[in-house]
Structure 1
């Protein structure tokens, strides 16, 4: 949807969180007196003071907060929805209210439709997208380019357009939720991997995969798809795209050696094969923009790992602690265990139920020299059952402890982990319920590690 089309339409901002507020900021700066409706399930008084202040005195804004907020769907032509609300749910509400002509879009979709795509590098994948996005951003900055970090790891892009020039590039991390309404794709798309996730949001894995495919679905033969050729899902998507293909693979020995060399000499080394894949993707994308080799090298070597992504917390009482709270799938947790190696003797797992399959996680953990599993509800019970099913008489002895708080988890970790060994938080589950999000979970872990030391 173009800006001209938005200007002529009656707009509903559905969801007034981070992206909703950014959409409102953009609309108000561009069209100061345009009528706009804002709706959110939460009462206005539960919003942040900043959000409340932004709309409190806006006489051109109609506010629908709290109970009955969905009634606003009857009154609009364009819905710019937050990523957290499934598009299918919005469309069903529209149909029930007889508003079949309304267009459902999103902040990210509007950005893709209006900013020159030749200057957009978009990154997606189930895991690794934040690190890869940040790597590319740092590399472009080292090359002297005007790069903007946008999306999940950065800021919503529309408000940033006001001070962009013809030399500005956007390095944008796209979640599946941000891609699902997209009808345009970036010039350079980076597809890392696709594994089952967010199955509490999508009807099935195919719907999730289809949302991810929008990163390249609307590309042309003038565009590029950088993809991980080691995985079946990216290969399948690559076979369907019109874009020019730029594969990367762990089987490319020379490329892997180059990446590992840069990673080892970094100020804060990135751990694990999955980070090698992230670096390979960043190098490939940067080279498409003719970034000098020296800028690529400096960008990688000076990169600092992001919080909650195999973040080294420190050594306390002789125990090494790692925060990998971002690991919300079984595949991610196994990758973290593999990255650190056999020194992991205490593993903290479990969290929000999203109906993921823990069979392979259980099989692999039954073979690991892990002495202690500390398990959060509700998935902790299923994870432990998956481990027990695969244990044999030759399996290492593993004790399970079920906890409800991070304080309990860390106390047990200190009691059970020998000096010289490692305690790893890599939950294989989402954080909702006990914690606000993965960052809150990771911060709580680090807080109690230091407090109980």
Structure 2
């Protein structure tokens, strides 16, 4: 659905975060006289009312009856479509859309390069934009990485590098516009509170491939769920496969041809370096000389809050991996620092994910200490306690992040790594992972403002 099609319809914007504000601006720019309702909380209502837009009203109450009043509701990504009131309103005839849907409808025909995956999608998207810019192209770096698509409704670019969360992948299919290329790094259970089950999460994540039907699909052959896919409507390319782009130790190969040594690249973790193979394969599928562009990856600046080393104080290195929201990402973070003295901070909001594989991993690669916090802290503690006792790992709980940092620091006795890789969302403790990462920097004695925004967003 395009913006002009909203004329004379009853339209609501549900949520007043970044995406809600971006959708409002996009609609208002084209339809200045359209009456709009913003469904939000009391604090947000005060902000909306302060805009003094005579054609906007606020509603701080929402249920199926309220939603059914509108022809179209633009829903923020964090609001699950599987709530009974959403399903009831949809059955009544309300169309639920999003800023993602709106942007794709307005940009049909653009070279859209969509990137998703449970982990590695942000770095992969930023790498793709970085290398395309190195090739002299004007690229828009947008989406879940920090800049809502709706903010860029009127912008134009040679290519769009778009990060999509599992909340957004199904919206691309709903737009009716086929992406030019889709790159998927992996599919691991996450966001079960939003999706309702692992099966629905996987279905929604893979909707970018199965329903949106990209012209080109670039997939990780090492991921079991992706390896099972057949996509007859797409031209499929596989990476992390010995006949194509893959990683051998610290070196990237294309088949048997060594391309580049990535040991000195600012990309911590084998998973990040493996995903660079996917980015190079995507460039090759687009017709670029990926061998030549691979060297430009050496100048890539790593993203904040993703295994970000903030520095060393009193012999201890502090690593901010606030983006980590699953047990698998916390386990991957531990792997990066294998062989070093590590105290890891875990915990946050409990989404019901399985921590038993993490406990099993501790029997093979145990840190010096683990400090848990947040709503999920007691559950993690109970699950990993036996493994910690078997490996002599100091296990502690903390009342908040400051307490967790203090206990992790004390456990290291002046040498090692304090690694904040929570394996859980920040909800209930912080607004988002960015706020959590900045607070970690402050508590550890670093300038939180240096834990900055992701560079390169927008069109450059």
Q: Structure 2 length normalisation: TM-score?
A: 0.87
Q: Would you say the 8 A contact 1:328–1:430 is kept in 2?
A: yes
- CA shift, 1:62, in A, is 2.9
1:399-427 deviation per Cα after TM superposition (whole angstroms, max 9, x unaligned): 11110122211222222114442221111
Q: Does 1:449 align with 2:444?
A: yes
Q: 1:174 maps to what in 2?
A: 164
5+ long unaligned stretches in structure 2: 254-258, 448-460
Change (3 A) 1:426 1:371: same
Q: 2:256 maps to what in 1?
A: none
Q: Distance in 2 between matches of 1:312 and 1:388?
A: 28
Alignment of 1:224-373 (within 5 A): 224-236=216-228, 238-240=229-231, 242-249=233-240, 251=242, 255-256=246-247, 257-258=251-252, 261=260, 263-266=262-265, 269-293=266-290, 296-373=293-370
Alignment of 1:205-220 (within 5 A): 205-220=198-213
Secondary structure of the residue aligned to 1:401 is strand
Q: Would you say the 8 A contact 2:245–2:277 is kept in 1?
A: no
Larger deviation, residues 328-337 vs 108-117: 108-117
- CA shift, 1:341, in A, is 1.1
Change (3 A) 1:378 1:60: closer
Secondary structure of the residue aligned to 1:162 is coil
Q: Distance in 2 between matches of 1:364 and 1:335?
A: 10
Q: Does 1:198 align with 2:197?
A: no
Change (3 A) 1:378 1:76: closer
Larger deviation, residues 76-85 vs 151-160: 151-160
Change (3 A) 1:344 1:37: same
- CA shift, 1:312, in A, is 0.5
Q: Does 1:430 align with 2:430?
A: no
Larger deviation, residues 397-406 vs 6-15: 6-15
Q: Would you say the 8 A contact 1:219–1:242 is kept in 2?
A: no
- CA shift, 1:322, in A, is 1.0
Q: Does 1:402 align with 2:397?
A: yes
Q: Would you say the 8 A contact 2:2–2:105 is kept in 1?
A: yes
1:34-63 deviation per Cα after TM superposition (whole angstroms, max 9, x unaligned): 22222113444554xxx554xx32222232
1:342-378 deviation per Cα after TM superposition (whole angstroms, max 9, x unaligned): 2043111111111111111011113334221111033
1:205-252 deviation per Cα after TM superposition (whole angstroms, max 9, x unaligned): 1111111112122445x711111111111223x324521111111645
Q: Would you say the 8 A contact 1:370–1:396 is kept in 2?
A: no
Q: Does 1:84 align with 2:78?
A: yes
Change (3 A) 1:190 1:134: same
Q: Distance in 2 between matches of 1:158 and 1:350?
A: 33
Looking at secondary structure, tell me which structure has more helix per residue.
1
1:41-88 deviation per Cα after TM superposition (whole angstroms, max 9, x unaligned): 3444554xxx554xx322222322x23587542332111111111112
RMSD of aligned Cα (Å): 2.5
Q: 2:108 maps to what in 1?
A: 116
Larger deviation, residues 249-258 vs 344-353: 249-258
Q: Would you say the 8 A contact 2:347–2:380 is kept in 1?
A: yes
Q: 1:7 maps to what in 2?
A: 7
- CA shift, 1:286, in A, is 1.8
5+ long unaligned stretches in structure 1: none
Q: Would you say the 8 A contact 1:219–1:243 is kept in 2?
A: no
Secondary structure of the residue aligned to 1:367 is coil
Q: Would you say the 8 A contact 2:349–2:374 is kept in 1?
A: yes
Secondary structure of the residue aligned to 1:276 is helix
- CA shift, 1:120, in A, is 0.3
Q: Does 1:57 align with 2:57?
A: no
Secondary structure of the residue aligned to 1:108 is helix
* Counterpart selection for 1:135 from 127, 139, 144: 127
Q: Would you say the 8 A contact 2:68–2:93 is kept in 1?
A: no
1:253-310 deviation per Cα after TM superposition (whole angstroms, max 9, x unaligned): 86322378353343xx211111112211211112222234476235411111111110
Alignment of 1:151-170 (within 5 A): 151-164=143-156, 168-170=158-160
Change (3 A) 1:42 1:366: farther
Secondary structure of the residue aligned to 2:217 is strand
Q: 2:407 maps to what in 1?
A: 412
Q: Distance in 2 between matches of 1:68 and 1:384?
A: 37
Q: Would you say the 8 A contact 2:14–2:74 is kept in 1?
A: yes
Equivalences, count: 435
Q: Distance in 2 between matches of 1:451 and 1:306?
A: 17
1:179-205 deviation per Cα after TM superposition (whole angstroms, max 9, x unaligned): 233324411001111111111111211
Larger deviation, residues 172-181 vs 293-302: 293-302
- CA shift, 1:451, in A, is 6.5
- CA shift, 1:315, in A, is 1.1
